[in-house]
Amino acid sequence: LRTRVTGLKFEIQGQQEALQRNQEELLARQKELATIYYTMGTKDELKNAGVVQPNGGVLGVGKTLKVSGKFEEAAFSPLNTDEQNVIQIPAKKGKVQILSAQPPGSYSLTKVGKDMVELHILDRSEFRKIKHLVILKA
Tabulate helix, strand, coil % of the chain (nearest 5). 40, 35, 30
Enter the pTM of the model. 0.78
Q: Are strands 116-121 and 86-90 parallel, antiparallel or unpaired?
A: antiparallel
Q: Is the pLDDT of residue 69 over 90?
A: no
Per-residue pLDDT tens over the stretch 46-65: 998 889 888 776 666 667 78
Q: How far lies 98's CA from each of 58, 109, 124, in Å?
A: 24, 9, 16
Helix (H) or strand (E) holding 71, with range, is none
